[in-house]
Amino acid sequence: MQLQIKNLSKTYSNGVQALKDVDLTIPSGLFGLLGPNGAGKSTLMRTIATLQEPDTGSIFMDDLNVLTEKHKVRQVLGYLPQEFGTYSNVTAEELLHHIAVLKGITDKKIRRALTTRLLKQTNLYDVRNKKLGSFSGGMKQRFGVAQALIGSPKILIVDEPTAGLDPAERKRFLNMLSEIGEQVIVILSTHIVDDVEEICTSMSIIDKGTVKYTGKPYEAIELLKGKVWKKTITKREESQYIENYNVLSSRLSDGLVEIHICSENNPGVFEKTSPDLEDVYFAAIKNCLSIAN
Ligand code: ADP
């Protein structure tokens, strides 16, 4: 299965153009939609999830027209929204059962087997009798995935799921998504470069409603090889460098600043460095390399 998005545009009533002629093919596996806040990620996710309409364009899930056959799409799609509220006074198992009933799984035996499987898959089985109000952020997000997987979706959309998780919970969450991604298309929207670097097989970088790059993370890094230079400077020198060079990023280390710049040739007293996905991300967003394809 693949998702084919063509010429998708959306302008909100306040005049903000959230998506500008977006063309995107999302293959099987784990797909990362990477972009800063306000890039248009949630607008795109909600549109794919049939929760809002674009102004123009089309989305096809193989032969299924997502924009006109919403009912069929919803049968094969699981969605974890950015803001996922749960009831706090019920247990994980109770709420999962309840959602399964709402999703039409009325046979008690089948429902029990399904909820047990999902609680185990999301590492929540041991805490299934705990109230959701006592869950940590990571546990709530994993519960969000469990409910999204009811009905065995072919596509799972998770919108900024790792924001606000501590490092251990984030790791656990990404491992779980990675396992799910072996059977289902997973679309992970995030502003965290490491999320994509760690688990995604393919990705897009989006900014201001425009897709800047689509491809495999390692191919994107290849494109920048030989073009990223680094230098360690003081904090006071930083603004001068930003003014004079194509600075991709600044990383603080031991009170000093390591800047990365993008240039075909050594622009002076810089040292060549191996690019990473963060360099790719900033290069794409700053349009300082024609790496869009
Ligand atoms: P992201 O998920 O990447 O942070 P969004 O899709 O939420 O981006 O937002 C893209 C742009 O559209 C932002 O400028 C945002 O303020 C604007 N926007 C999002 N939703 C609405 C809305 N319902 N009405 C008006 N503007 C919106």
The CB of 239 under 6 Å from ligand 1? The reply is: no
Identify whether residues 207 and 234 lie together within a single domain.
no
Q: Would you give the DSSP letter of residue 258?
A: E
- Residue 277: which H helix or E strand, with range? helix 277-285
What does the alpha-carbon distance between residue 272 and residue 266 come to, in Å, rounded to a whole number?
Answer: 8
* pLDDT tens-digit series, residues 54-68: 999 999 999 999 999
User: Of 178, 206, 221, which one is at a domain's C-terminal end?
Assistant: 221
Identify whether residues 137 and 159 lie together within a single domain.
yes
4: three-class secondary structure by DSSP? strand
User: What are the percentages of helix, strand and coil residues in the chain, rounded to 5?
Assistant: 35, 30, 35
Identify whether residues 230 and 217 lie together within a single domain.
no
- Single-letter amino acid, residue 214: T
Instruction: Take atom 20 of ligand 1 and give the residue whose Cα is closest.
Output: 43
Identify whether residues 84 and 184 lie together within a single domain.
yes
Q: Which atom of ligand 1 is nearest to the CA of 35?
A: 3
Q: What is the CATH number of the domain that holds 145?
A: 3.40.50.300
CA 81 to ligand 1 center in whole angstroms: 14
CA 243 to ligand 1 center in whole angstroms: 30
Q: Torsions phi, psi of 45, nearest 5?
A: -60, -45
What does the alpha-carbon distance between residue 156 and residue 282 come to, in Å, rounded to a whole number?
Answer: 27
The CB of 42 under 6 Å from ligand 1? The reply is: yes
The CB of 54 under 6 Å from ligand 1? The reply is: no
Range of the domain at 148: 2-221
Identify whether residues 197 and 241 lie together within a single domain.
no
* Tokens 């709402």 belong to residue: 102
Identify whether residues 12 and 138 lie together within a single domain.
yes
User: How many domains, in total, are found in the chain?
Assistant: 2
Q: Torsions phi, psi of 232, nearest 5?
A: -100, 125
| 282 occurs within a structural domain | no
The CB of 110 under 6 Å from ligand 1? The reply is: no
Tens of pLDDT along the chain (293 residues)? 899 999 999 999 999 999 999 999 999 899 999 999 999 999 999 999 999 999 999 999 999 999 999 999 998 999 998 877 778 899 999 999 999 998 889 999 999 999 999 999 999 999 999 999 999 989 999 999 999 999 889 999 999 999 888 999 999 999 999 999 988 999 999 999 999 999 999 999 999 999 999 999 999 999 999 999 999 999 999 999 999 888 999 999 888 999 999 988 888 889 999 999 999 999 999 877 554 33
- Single-letter amino acid, residue 210: T
User: Of 177, 192, 221, which one is at a domain's C-terminal end?
Assistant: 221
Hey, what are 209's tokens? 């409603």
What does the alpha-carbon distance between residue 84 and residue 94 come to, in Å, rounded to a whole number?
Answer: 17
CA 231 to ligand 1 center in whole angstroms: 36
205: three-class secondary structure by DSSP? strand
Identify whether residues 154 and 230 lie together within a single domain.
no
Structure pTM? 0.91
The CB of 87 under 6 Å from ligand 1? The reply is: no
Q: Are 211 and 204 in contact (CB under 8 A)?
A: yes
